[in-house]
Each structure stands twice: as C-alpha cells, then as structure tokens.
Structure 1
Amino acid sequence: MMKQLKWGFALCYLFTTALTACKDYSEGVEVDTYEPSRTELTLDSIFLYAKEIYFWNDQLPTYEDFAPRAYAASTDDLSIFEEELYDITQFAINSETGRPYEYRQGYAGTPKYSFIEENESNTSAFAVLQSSYLDGTDDDYGFALTAIAANEIRVRYVVTGSTAYKAGIRRGDILIAVGGEEVRADSNADITRINSAFDGDTFELTVMDQDSVVLNTTLVRSTYTINPVFKDSVLETSAGKVGYLAYSTFSSLSNSQDVLDEVFAEFAAANIKDVVIDLRYNGGGYIATADYLINQIIPSSLNNRDMYVERYNELMQGGDATILENQLLKDANGDNIDYRGRYANYNDLDYSEDGNTFTFSKEGDLETIENVYVIISDATASASELVINTLKPYLNVILIGTTSYGKPVGFFGIEIDDYTMYIPNFQTVNSDEEGDYFDGMVPDFEINDDVTRDFGDTEESCLATAIAIITGDGTTARSSSTSSYSLLHLGNMPHTAVMIEHRRTLKQ
C-alpha cells in the first residue's frame, strides 16, 4: 500500500502542476477539479515516461497532441495500455526504410521491441524469463518442432538437460505420432493435437532418428537445469581443426560461465584459428554474458580497446530525464540503495557515453582466432547481434543463414502502478559507429535452416557451408533439404528477443 501511495503522489504532483486543470476556489475563482482515474494516470505515465526515456523520444508529439487519456474509453486496462504503447512506437520513422523503427511485418498492432506486462506476483512472461530461464532453469519439455513437408515434422531443437534431451530426443528426429496416433503437418486436427500436448503435463510421442531407430516415450513436464550449449565440438577438416559452438541463450553468468570456459579451453588446446558460432536460435539475454563470449573469442592484444557504446537519448545523457526519480534503484537483493543521504533512483545513474563505453578484457587462453563464422536466422536477436557487431571491426566475421531479427536496442523495466513497461532506452554501436541493423543483419551466404540434421553435423547445410569456405573446396554454399525458413514452427523458441542491461553506475 505504501508503494502505491508513493507512486500516486509522485504522478499526481506531476499532472496537476504541468498537465491538467484542477478545481479549487482560492480567491473565489472556480477552477476545474476533475480527478483522473487510476487508468488515466497510468495512460499519462506511459506517455510521459516515453517522452523522456524512449530512445526516439525527440520524435514523439506533445502531451496535448497525443492525448493519452483518450484511450480510457477502450476495453480492459492492459489492452488499453498496449494500444497506447503501440501508437507511441509508430512515430519514430527509420529514414532508410520509411517505416517505423518498431514496425514488425506480419504483427499488426504489436511493436517490434516495446511491451508492457501486468505484474502478477512475478509470474508475467518476462519476469519468468528473467527469474527462471535466463537464470538457468525451466519447467517445460525442452524441445520444439518444425513441419518441413506435408507429412514430415522434425525436431527443431532440444535444450540440453531437458526432459526431452534425457529421453534421447535430438534435433532432426522425425515426429511420427502423438498419443499413439500418426501426425501430419497438413492436418489441422493433428497440429491442434500437437499444440495441446505442449500445453499439457505429459507428452506421449514417437520419433525416429537419422538411423531409422524408433523411440516411443512419454515426457513428463518437470523443472530442469538448462545447459545453454546445444552442442560443441572440435571438427577435423582438410584445413585444420575448427571449433563449433551452438549456443542457445545468453543466460546469467552463473549459468553460462563454466560451460563457456570448458568449451573455449578445448578450442585453445586445439589451437583453432576458425570458429563457427551457431546462434540461429539465440534470442539474446544478458549483455554481461554476451561480453563474456566476446572476450573468449578475441585475442588479449585487444585488451582495453573499445567494444561498443550503449547510447541513450540526449535527455538521459544530460541527466535531465527527471521522471526517472520516481523509479527507485534496487540492489541484487531487491533492497533500496543509500545515496547522498537518500535512496538512489534511476535518474542518479550515469547515462553518458563515457560512462557506457565498454572495452575488451580477455577471458581464457584462446589467442589464435582469425575467422568467425556465425550461423544466424530470424530468431537471432539482441545480445546475439551485439556479439556479431562488436567483433566485426576486429576479426573476419562471415554470416551464414537467413537475415537476423534486427534489434540493436536494449532496455530496463519501468514500474507503473501494477505494470512494468519495457521500451528501448539505448542503442548499441560498435567501435566503427555501426549499429543500424534495425531490419536485421543480412547473411553473406544465404542458407535455409536445415532441421533434418543435428547441431554439429558436418552435413547440415549451414555448417557444411562454413566448412566449405574454410577448406576452400570450391563450394561456398550448400543447398538445404528444407525449402524455406518460413515453415510451420510448433512449440516455443527458446525465448523472445532481449538485450538486458543490469550493470549500473551511479553518477560520481
């Protein structure tokens, strides 16, 4: 209750002094004393926060022209707030495309980056993502499917350590039956049955592997510890040893660091100069973990050189986004932080370019990498794209696959009453000032995702292309047995496109 009162006081003060007319009767003059509803105050707050901290805040209209409270006559509160947020995100236009930066083809009414969620005891989708999946645990079956033909459904990925992985299911396996009944991709009833199985507590299925070995199993939904590495290996080629790492998510360092150390120790022992980083399903995660991967790849000669800058809007850089004073800063335990005789707030943080320029700091013993081949898809986003963009000025980076998602922006959450809003607060640019890949990174070699083979299989189309380039055998592109990447995907991707910045520095 105290939290809500404090929130209400701060916002009412802002509104009554700057935006709304009120009624009182001082000196006998009648003034409008309309009291806004809780919904109207939240609508105001969404716009006013965007007006100060949205990365493209300078392209937003005035409060009077936008009129946030006009949305209050709509449906339920969350839908109202989502509608308002979508409209806010459509003002900033990318001059290169003529479309809003937050335009997303095929998702009318949904911003590409921004969203708002209701806080339901930390059970919102993004809260769960941060508190469980990105910290190394999940409670699903740990696999997903792709239909590649009318009668063929393949396993797209299996999370290492999951229920499906322990049962022996692997990427490339063919799904034959669910609940003892054969399934086909061209049957709506079968698709519905598969999706229902993903939602249930048990999943009875039959799959067949590359060697035509049939597996009948019943998976039980349970909590498991995630290994974020799909597959790693040192491959023997005619040009020497090649490192391969398929990495599912930039989970917390506590979840990712040990496994990355182990992988790169093997690469260092093999003295590899070529490495294939498979990020085709990696939607991002923690920037600190992305930095850790980058620093495993680069040589120590790059220490203290610029990696990238997190660039905030001019208002935030100048310390003038005063609305952030309403957001208290918390430590790792969720406690308030003492600062200059009071509790620290988000306006006390350093948003300057100097304070948000990050430099290389070598991790591990691998010093020999010259060429980095990155496998990408439209599910490659955020922190994954940051890794690619950061390495480009310093190493030979070759992209293989299909165009990535396109998210060079990141955010932190803004609490507004019972909701948390996420809107782009900063853009990352590399040491060459490059970072405008809002429509995605285009591959150097366009190859469709080959879900017929497991990660690390040298005959899988994307990996085979990388090896062909490395060995110079004259074939620099291998055709995929799947005709298109825009195929029917069943089950969830590992997670949505995120680039989360938890590293904070208070102004000195």
Structure 2
Amino acid sequence: MIKRLNSRKYILIALALVPVLFNACKKSKVNPESPDTEQPQPGVGNTKQTPTSDRRSLTNDSLFLYAQQIYYWNDKLPTYDVFDPRTYTKLGTDLANFNNELFNITKLSGFETVAGSSFPKYAFIRDENTANGSQSTAPDRSSSVDLSDIGFDMGFLNFQGYGDNTGYELFVKAVYPNSPADLAKITRGTKITKIGSRAIGTNFDAEVALINNVLNGSTSSTTFSGIRPDGTTFNDVALSVKKYTSSPIFASKVIDQGGKKVGYLAYSLFSVLTNPDSKNPTDTRIDPVFANFSANNITDLVIDLRYNGGGSVETAEYLLNQLAPANTNGVMFSETYNSVMKSGKASILKNQPLTDSKGQIQYSSSGKMYTLNDVDWSDAGNIYSFSKKGPLNGLKNIVFLVSSNTASASELLINSIKPYMQSVKLVGTTTYGKPVGFFPIVLDKHYSVYLPSFESKNKNGEGGYYTGMKPDFADTGGSDLYDDAEHDFGDPKESYLNKALSLLAPVAPSVLASRISSKGIAGATANSVKLMKTDYSNSNMAAAGMVETRYRLKK
C-alpha cells in the first residue's frame, strides 16, 4: 500500500508544445486540382491577387479563399485585399506561416480565440508528410495516436503529480494500448520513482524538464522505475519511441456495485472504424465491449471520456447506435453549414476530389470524378437518424466522466444521446466546448486544412455549448472528487468512477468511504487543492476535432 497524506496538493505537468488539434484523421494522399484555378470575381476586393506560380503564395491565397466560402463564420471575414494573405511569409517555415495566417483568419470569428494561445481553438493545419502513418523513422513529435490508431511515441498520455515542489509523487494518467509503455505493463495509476538516472519526487523545478522531454518526444529512449497499481515494482525498464498500432479503448469491464451490474468503458478517441462500410459498419474493438454489456444485461453505464478529444463523426454515430435502446428511431443530430455552402455556391470545392471513408476518389457511372462541389450541404441533406445496432437493448442511464479535454465528437455523443435516455449525468470538470466540426481540405497536395464548417445540434435543437458542458457533479479541487491518477481505469476506488457508481447504484456510505480511505486520500472534510501548474498544453491530450468524412450527393 502507498500511504497518502490527507492534505493534498496537485501538480499538473506542463508542456510547451503546439497546444491543440493535431490528432485529426490521417487521409490518403489526394492530389486536388491546383487551388489557383479558383479565381475571385472582379469587383469584390481582390485587386492584390495577381497571377503567380509561387506555391507558397498560391497556398496563402487558397487558405483564405477557402475560408471565405466554407468557414462557418465566413461572414466575419474581410475582402482579400484587406486581409492580404500573401503577407504571411515572415516566419521560418511554410507551415509556420500558414498557421499564422490561419490564426489571424480565425481571430475574426469571435469564437476561436483562446487567451494566451497563438493557435485557434478549433481550426488547424496538418502536414501529412509528417503524420504518424507516413513515418518510418522520424515521427512528428507534436502528435501521438492519430485517428487511424497509429502512434509514434513511448505511449504516455500524460502524468500527474501530487504534492509540492520539494516533495511530490508522480503518477501515470494513461497509457495507449499496444504502446511500448503498455507492453511494459505500465498503466494508469503507476507511480514513477525514477526516469533515467534521476530520482523523481524531491525537486519538481529541476525534474519537470526531464518529465516533459518524455512526453514531447525530445527524449527518444530512457529507463523508468516505479510501482504499479497492484504494488509490483519495476526497475530501469527501457522504453523507446516506436511506431505502433493502438486501440481507442483504454479499458472496459462490468462492475458489481452492491449486487447491481454497471458497465464501464474508458474511450480514448473516436478513431476510424475497423470496417467503415456505409451499409453495415462494424468495429472489432467496440463490438466485443457491447456484446459483453449485453450478456450482463447492463442498464446503467459509465463512459469515461475525460481524455477524449473527439475524432470521427461516423464513429460517434456508430457508438450512438450501440447505446440506443431497442427500436430507437428519429433524429440523432443535424449539421448546419453557412449560407454560401447551403445554397450550393461554395464553388471553390470543385478543386477537392470526393473520397470515401478509405480515401478512394469517387466517380459517377459515366466516369466523371465527383468533387466536394457535388455534395449536398443543405440543412435537409444533413440530418442523421438512429439505426439501432448491436445487442445492448435496455440501456437507461449513463454517467459520463468528463474534463476540459473532453471535446468535439465526445460532446456530440453526450448531446445526441440525452433525449433518448432516462438519465444522463456528467461528473468532472467543464468540457472543452466544441459544437462545430469540419472536413479536410487538401492544399499543395500534403497540407490538410481543418476549418470549422458546420455546427451540430441534437434532436431537440440543443447545441451551442461553446463554453463547454458543465458537469452535474463538479470537481472543485477538493479531495472528495478529483481526477484520481492514483488508480487505474475501471477501479471503483478511483474518485470520478466512485462518484458515478454511487449515482447509478447507491450503496451504504460506509462502502464508499472504505474505498476512499483505504489509501488514506481523504480526510473528514474535503481539502482544497492548490493547482501549481494549470496551463499545460500536451498535444497528447489535444482536441482531435469532429471530423466529417461522410457525404451525400446533390439530388
């Protein structure tokens, strides 16, 4: 047993990485027509857009011109001449210049500015040449597991420290399945006592750089010592940055809570389905989980989304159909685009080939290549309805475990299932706040641009949670309810899960108290928690987005 002090202080490990949105879906290499073929009409403030063959200038142009037509808040943008996209050339790399231009585009929306950040809250650009799936030896250090489940790191999502600068304990928050750390049997709840030759826990200021270097990939190989949640120790276990295929499921199990069976699913991201067939999709990771829940007649479920930044809308739809009670039908959610797109006037999309879920370009029966300009972006054409899947038919109540990292497709899942459950409750902290989604636009053959293009709403027209979803039971920084990295996923002693179980299947107070006090982590009253570092920006915990890759053609 690890002894815990009643008076608790938290250290949230800080990273100085690109802060948000680098886990979007990996797309196959698509070579759209040259973006400069889309010329603005005369007399609309485009006198500065002169002919050029310079690729960077053309990409600068395209980034702004696409935003003028497909950005959800395109009505906030000025003319080409006022914005002058070709002036974004002063930084060291093309990608840095494009990111700077994107940031200045999104600042105009009034929705994407984050205090202290030089990146948008939602929009982002990804260089597919440095994506995990494209790499064999040198990973993109700002990325972790992507939506194709490809990881290229040691496997640590993040760490969390408890204590103060001169005396703290460092615990693993989560480990990606099949990663080097996972194969070494390091899990959430593992206490790290040494990294390399350096003991951890006595001088945070001197040790934080070492910890961050593990997370951001600057350290490609080192050793770890520590204590696993089951009490077993390990010494100088060598881990290296490696490429691996992961799974979106951190953990799943059925928990006996006072004689009642409660399902538990810890879900890391909405990665692409293993079989995204449009007529009969399946998933080899999700399907066995719900088969087990069905076999145990689960009516109450805890879904742990506290580190889930979103991902594929198609996967969210699939999971919603698994959760839905038997015979559920009707609206699941709707997607609304800007007026230019809804009216079919986003003609610049003719430069983007239409691809299926596997990245294959689509053609008509006559051999014509379809483009995104052939897609129906109207309100009526973007309503998605339930079509029940899977064997779990009697689900009634769900408690979601959430945090500020719960974003996008995760929030879509919560918002869309609410009208169909007897009870939906949230435990944790306020979610990220991203009711908008996007589809990828490819520029210069290798830059995938994700501009928010639609807003989602549920059956009741509810959405607009730009400031996040507030929990019903809030983590206020006390030891009675907090993100408890000292316990593994699915352990009923874990603070958030313990609270969720008490809501779904109340038991005697003495049972709940024994779970908490068994490791000495709570006193008679809740103790305040000092957040020593709060502005961490680990890209491993970034919002992946709400990526739409399903398209319906105009009739």
TM-score, reference length from structure 1: 0.86
Are residues 1:206 and 2:225 paired?
yes
**Aligned residue among 245, 251, 255 for 1:235:** 255
**Pair 130,81 (structure 1): closer, same or farther in 2 beyond 3 Å:** closer
Are residues 1:499 and 2:527 paired?
no
Q: Shift of residue 270 of structure 1?
A: 1.7
Contact 2:35 2:59 in 1 (8 A): no
Give the corresponding residue for 1:437: 465
Q: Which sits farther off after the overlay, 434-443 or 211-220?
A: 211-220
**Pair 183,122 (structure 1): closer, same or farther in 2 beyond 3 Å:** closer
Give the corresponding residue for 1:483: 529
Contact 1:146 1:490 in 2 (8 A): no
Contact 1:146 1:487 in 2 (8 A): no
Contact 1:450 1:481 in 2 (8 A): no
| 1:146-198 CA distance string (max 9 Å, x none) | 22223211011122222212212121111100113202374333222233345
Give the corresponding residue for 1:218: 238
SS in 2 for 1:106: coil
Structural mapping, 1:127-138, within 5 Å:
133-138=146-151
Structural mapping, 1:272-311, within 5 Å:
272-303=298-329, 305-311=330-336
**Pair 70,398 (structure 1): closer, same or farther in 2 beyond 3 Å:** same
Q: Which sits farther off after the overlay, 238-247 or 317-326?
A: 238-247
**Pair 258,338 (structure 1): closer, same or farther in 2 beyond 3 Å:** closer
Are residues 1:62 and 2:79 paired?
yes
Aligned residues: 487
Q: Shift of residue 267 of structure 1?
A: 1.4
Q: Shift of residue 16 of structure 1?
A: 7.3
SS in 2 for 1:120: helix
**Partner Cα distance (1:64, 1:21) in 2:** 7
**Aligned residue among 119, 122, 143 for 1:113:** 122
**Partner Cα distance (1:214, 1:482) in 2:** 31
**Aligned residue among 94, 100, 104 for 1:87:** 104
**Pair 454,332 (structure 1): closer, same or farther in 2 beyond 3 Å:** closer
Structural mapping, 1:401-412, within 5 Å:
401-412=428-439
Give the corresponding residue for 2:455: 427
**Partner Cα distance (2:41, 2:32) in 1:** 15
Q: Shift of residue 241 of structure 1?
A: 1.1
Q: Which sits farther off after the overlay, 457-466 or 468-477?
A: 468-477
**Pair 73,164 (structure 1): closer, same or farther in 2 beyond 3 Å:** closer
SS in 1 for 2:201: coil
**Partner Cα distance (1:498, 1:149) in 2:** 33
**Partner Cα distance (1:435, 1:214) in 2:** 47
Contact 1:375 1:462 in 2 (8 A): yes
**Pair 203,495 (structure 1): closer, same or farther in 2 beyond 3 Å:** farther
**Aligned residue among 492, 500, 514 for 1:458:** 492
**Aligned residue among 341, 350, 353 for 1:328:** 353
**Partner Cα distance (1:14, 1:4) in 2:** 22
Give the corresponding residue for 2:413: 387
**Aligned residue among 271, 291, 295 for 1:251:** 271
Q: Shift of residue 280 of structure 1?
A: 0.8
The structure, 1 or 2, with the larger RCO (C-alpha pairs under 8 Å, 6+ apart) is: 2
**Partner Cα distance (1:112, 1:502) in 2:** 21
Counterpart residue type for residue 493 of structure 2: E
Which has the larger Rg?
1
Q: Shift of residue 254 of structure 1?
A: 0.5
**Partner Cα distance (1:148, 1:367) in 2:** 42
| 1:313-364 CA distance string (max 9 Å, x none) | 1211111111111222234565543336632111111112222111111112
SS in 2 for 1:196: helix
Q: Shift of residue 44 of structure 1?
A: 2.5
Q: Shift of residue 445 of structure 1?
A: 0.3
**Aligned residue among 97, 103, 126 for 2:113:** 103
**Partner Cα distance (1:33, 1:153) in 2:** 57
| 1:345-403 CA distance string (max 9 Å, x none) | 11111112222111111112212211100000111111111110001112111000111
Contact 1:408 1:436 in 2 (8 A): yes
**Partner Cα distance (1:376, 1:175) in 2:** 25
Q: Shift of residue 66 of structure 1?
A: 2.6
Give the corresponding residue for 1:172: 189
Q: Shift of residue 422 of structure 1?
A: 1.3
**Aligned residue among 385, 395, 409 for 1:359:** 385
**Partner Cα distance (2:444, 2:222) in 1:** 39
**Partner Cα distance (1:295, 1:484) in 2:** 41
**Pair 245,313 (structure 1): closer, same or farther in 2 beyond 3 Å:** same
**Partner Cα distance (1:10, 1:17) in 2:** 18
Unaligned runs of 5+ in 2: 1-29, 276-281, 476-481, 517-521
TM-score, reference length from structure 2: 0.79
Paired-residue identity, %: 38
What's the RMSD between the two structures over aligned residues? 3.3
